[in-house]
Amino acid sequence: MKEKVLIFGHKNPDTDSICSSIVHEILDKKNGWDTKAVRLGNINKETQYVLNYLGIEAPELIEKVEEGQEVLLVDHNEFNQSVEGIEKAKILGVTDHHRIANFETSDPLYYTAKPYGCTATILFEEFKTLGHKIEKTEAVLMASAIISDTLLLKSPTTTEHDKKALEELGQLAGINIEEYGLEMLKAGTDLDDFSAEELVNLDAKNLEKDGTKFVIAQVNTVSIEDVLKRQSELEKAMKDEITKKDLSLFVLAITDILNSNSEIIALGNKAEVVEKSFNTKLENNRAFLEGVVSRKKQLLPNIDKNI
């Protein structure tokens, strides 16, 4: 029997990666295609809040794909953020809202990217274009993804498309977006039972430029101070990653989702790149970045330019 087409988001899946995979499968079924959402890593606490709210199961975990496996990517395209074996998979389509890099196919494919705050907003527009009814389940999933990626529309990545989609999805889901969203985001900031190693890998993006490898990781919190109490063990875990992956830079952004600021910890032989990138000085390996909450729009482009 031929394997089903698999849909997945990036490694260290966030709420958009998980929810958009499930929604993509729902949309495919409406179009008569029997695809299957899977995931490349553990469900974080924020996403678990969403799944619990809906009473649905997480997609199945996969470790790698076989040569020739047909796949659909959501919420990422860079191979170093994707599944093991992606180079030899058959990529039929991509739905994403990131830059395109470290990505290559041997055949033509479907690729839908828009510079929106969230993959789910693109899927929302697909539902509208195709004239499919949006049921409560997919409305909650898409709304949750948008709330997560845009930090309740406060991130600079937020576009008018995301605002419009979230407003309509809130109505379709029958939820109060502010209340539901704050509960969901807070659920994601409960970091107590994570080890330092888990924390620095929770939402870590592996990046590469001209052969220079670096990582930008991010944790959301309602108290930066609380997280910084663990600075020394976090630094140890970051150093371990630097050695293991031969990194030139590891940036951990600790993002205050209530006040929209970040404190960063930067280690590695290119740590000074962040000083240049944000016109700041590292003290005790740290810097406070006022108004910085977005990896994609603020952290990555500045660091990528200077590394």
Sites of contact with a second copy (CB under 8 A): 97-116, 129, 296, 301, 304-305
Instruction: Considering the complex, state which of residue 53 and residue 111 has its C-beta at the smaller distance from a second copy.
Output: 111
Please, what is the minimum distance in Å from the beta carbon of residue 302 to a second copy?
Answer: 10
Instruction: Considering the complex, state which of residue 289 and residue 300 has its C-beta at the smaller distance from a second copy.
Output: 300
**What distance in Å separates the CA atoms of residue 18 and residue 145, rounded to the nearest whole number?**
8
Longest CA–CA span in the chain (Å) reads 59
Please, what is the minimum distance in Å from the beta carbon of residue 159 to a second copy?
Answer: 10
Instruction: Considering the complex, state which of residue 113 and residue 228 has its C-beta at the smaller distance from a second copy.
Output: 113
Instruction: Considering the complex, state which of residue 81 and residue 221 has its C-beta at the smaller distance from a second copy.
Output: 81
Instruction: Considering the complex, state which of residue 106 and residue 243 has its C-beta at the smaller distance from a second copy.
Output: 106
Taking a C-beta distance cutoff of 8 angstroms, is the pair 70, 63 a contact?
no
Please, what is the minimum distance in Å from the beta carbon of residue 300 to a second copy?
Answer: 8
Please, what is the minimum distance in Å from the beta carbon of residue 129 to a second copy?
Answer: 6
Residues 6+ away with beta carbon under 8 Å from 287: 263, 264, 266, 274, 275, 278, 280, 281
Radius of gyration of the chain (CA): 19
Taking a C-beta distance cutoff of 8 angstroms, is the pair 136, 23 a contact?
no
Instruction: Considering the complex, state which of residue 56 and residue 130 has its C-beta at the smaller distance from a second copy.
Output: 130
Taking a C-beta distance cutoff of 8 angstroms, is the pair 280, 287 a contact?
yes
Please, what is the minimum distance in Å from the beta carbon of residue 101 to a second copy?
Answer: 4
Estimate the crossing angle of helix 160-173 against helix 136-150, to 10 degrees: 140
Please, what is the minimum distance in Å from the beta carbon of residue 233 to a second copy?
Answer: 34
Beta-strand runs (E) in the chain? 5-8, 35-39, 60-61, 70-74, 90-96, 110-113, 204-209, 212-221, 249-256, 261-267, 286-289
Helix (H) or strand (E) holding 283: none
Instruction: Considering the complex, state which of residue 177 and residue 303 has its C-beta at the smaller distance from a second copy.
Output: 303
Query: Which pair of tokens denotes residue 39?
Result: 């995931």
Please, what is the minimum distance in Å from the beta carbon of residue 98 to a second copy?
Answer: 6
β-pair partners for 7: 37, 72
Number of H-type helices and E-type strands within the chain: 11, 11
